Structure formats: C-alpha cells, structure tokens
C-alpha cells in the first residue's frame, strides 16, 4: 500500500511538472513573438517579459543608465522591472493667417498651437518681421497626462499599457521584469510542519466517539502527510494532495 501510494505521488508530481513545463514554454513563446499593439488612438500595449533574472535587469540598467544603476546599487535597492519606450507626437499640417502688429506694421503677429486651439499642449506666441524675416516668440507647454497600467490575463501573462492623448504616439516599448514568484522575497518553505487535534463522532447509535491528536508535514505546499492517534486506541494515517488553488478574479 505504501509503495502504491508513493508511486501515485511520484506519478502525479511528474504529470504536474510536465504540464507546468509545457505551460511555461507556451507563455515564453507568446511573449517572444509579441509586438507593440496600438489598441486605439493614444493607447498602446505590450506584453511584459517576466523571464528576467536580477542580474539581467541590473545589466540592462547599467547599459542604459549607468548613473541610475550606481544610485540604486548604493542604496541597496532591488530592481523589479524596467520599462523602455520611445515616444513622439503625431505630425500635422496647419494653415492660417497672422495679424499685422498695430504698433509696428513691419511685424506679423502669430500664435501657433498644437494639437489644436481648444486644448493646446504646445503654444508659440511671437511675430515675424516682414522686411528681415526674423522671428521672435515664446514657447509654452501644458501638462501631458500619461497613464501606465499593468494587468494580468487569465493565462497568467502580464500586459503593460501606456495611455495618453490621441496625438500621443509610442514608437517602441519593452518591459522586462522579474518572474512573478520572485517579487516577494519571503517564499514559503518546501517543508512545513503541522500539529493539531480532532474529534470523531460516530454516525451509528452504538458507536463510540473519539478525540485525537495528530501531527504531519506539508511538502511543496501540495502534499500533506498526517499521523495521529485517538482515544479509541486507533492510529490514523492520511495523505492529501492539493489539486488546485482557487483565485478570486
């Protein structure tokens, strides 16, 4: 019986490990083939590559921003993810008229706005000299609202989104991260010890109720072995296998 139980445990673990391995390979393939997606005007999405080690992220930051890398290292911080992006603004063609300056008729006053006059992000107020073609003016910039959102798909894949105004354009985006399990440094131990008590109530009228105590171990948060004894002078042995963890979505 013990041998059969051991074989069942080994077989179950083997099948689970094989399924996990295939699932990881599938996710790696999906992430590797992913490209930047414009979901709508001003909204772009890219899958997160979370198959990076701490050394990978440190080397990437060291190559792209050595000063920041030194600062993070000096403060003993751990890099969780790196996002690199190239952003530009959509081009547009405008036409219109300036106005003759009332105090100096050699000047044409202009006000240029981007992307429009109602809610401009960039404004240029100035004038152009009609005789010398010299221009002078002042640039003004309003605030640029940007949102960053990270979501998790049902497949366990993370997606990173950048959202801005409609004229906001993302030319490239890459998001490299540690694996999800590596975000929390305090991991559960492979073996956990348990102790407890139980009460058994007989379902028959002439049966004997019993109380007992027991102890056991949990292996890899999946296999639980329990050994106990009760007041009916019985020794009990049990094995439990966790089939699936349910997560609230």
Q: pLDDT tens track of the chain, all 249 residues?
A: 555 656 666 667 777 778 778 888 998 999 999 999 999 999 999 999 999 999 999 999 999 999 999 999 999 999 999 999 999 999 989 888 999 999 999 999 999 999 998 999 999 999 999 999 999 999 999 999 999 999 998 788 999 999 999 999 999 999 999 998 887 655 556 778 778 877 777 777 677 777 888 888 887 777 787 888 877 777 777 777 776 665 544
Q: How do strand 191-200 and strand 43-47 relate by DSSP bridges?
A: unpaired
In a domain, 24, yes or no: no
Residue that finishes a domain, picked among 184, 210, 225: 184
Same domain, residue pair 176 and 197: no
Bridge partners of 108, per DSSP, are 100, 128
In a domain, 6, yes or no: no
In a domain, 233, yes or no: yes
Same domain, residue pair 46 and 77: yes
Residue 189 DSSP class = P
- Find the domain containing 204 and state its range: 188-241
Residue with tokens 């992913």: 34
Q: DSSP string spanning 127-181? A: EEETTT--EEEEEEE-----EEEEEE-TTS-EEEEEE--TTEEEEEEEEEE--GG
In a domain, 22, yes or no: no
Full-model pTM? 0.68
In a domain, 158, yes or no: yes
Same domain, residue pair 71 and 161: yes
Residue that finishes a domain, picked among 184, 204, 228: 184
Same domain, residue pair 45 and 111: yes
Q: How many domains does the chain have?
A: 2
């Amino acid at each position: 019986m013990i041998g059969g139980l051991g074989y069942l445990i080994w077989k179950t673990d083997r099948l689970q490990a094989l399924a996990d391995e295939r699932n990881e390979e599938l996710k790696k393939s999906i992430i590797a083939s992913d490209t930047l997606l414009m979901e709508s005007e001003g909204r772009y999405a890219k899958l997160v590559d979370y198959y990076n080690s701490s050394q990978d992220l440190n080397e990437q930051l060291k190559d792209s921003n050595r000063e920041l890398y030194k600062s993070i290292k000096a403060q003993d911080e751990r890099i969780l993810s790196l996002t690199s992006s190239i952003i530009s603004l959509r081009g547009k063609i405008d036409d219109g008229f300036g106005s003759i300056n009332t105090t100096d008729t050699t000047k044409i006053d202009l006000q240029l706005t981007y992307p429009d006059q109602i809610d401009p992000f960039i404004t240029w107020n100035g004038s152009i000299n009609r005789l010398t073609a010299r221009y002078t003016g002042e640039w003004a910039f309003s605030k640029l609202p940007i949102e960053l959102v990270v979501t998790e798909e049902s497949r366990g894949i993370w997606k990173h989104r950048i959202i801005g105004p409609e004229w906001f354009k993302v030319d490239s985006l890459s998001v490299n991260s540690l694996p999800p399990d590596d975000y929390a440094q305090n991991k559960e131990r492979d073996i956990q010890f348990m102790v407890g008590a139980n009460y058994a109530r007989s379902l028959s009228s002439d049966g004997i109720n019993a109380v007992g105590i027991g102890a056991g171990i949990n292996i890899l948060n999946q296999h639980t072995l329990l050994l106990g004894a009760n007041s009916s002078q019985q020794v009990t042995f049990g094995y439990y296998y966790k089939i699936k963890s349910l997560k609230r979505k």
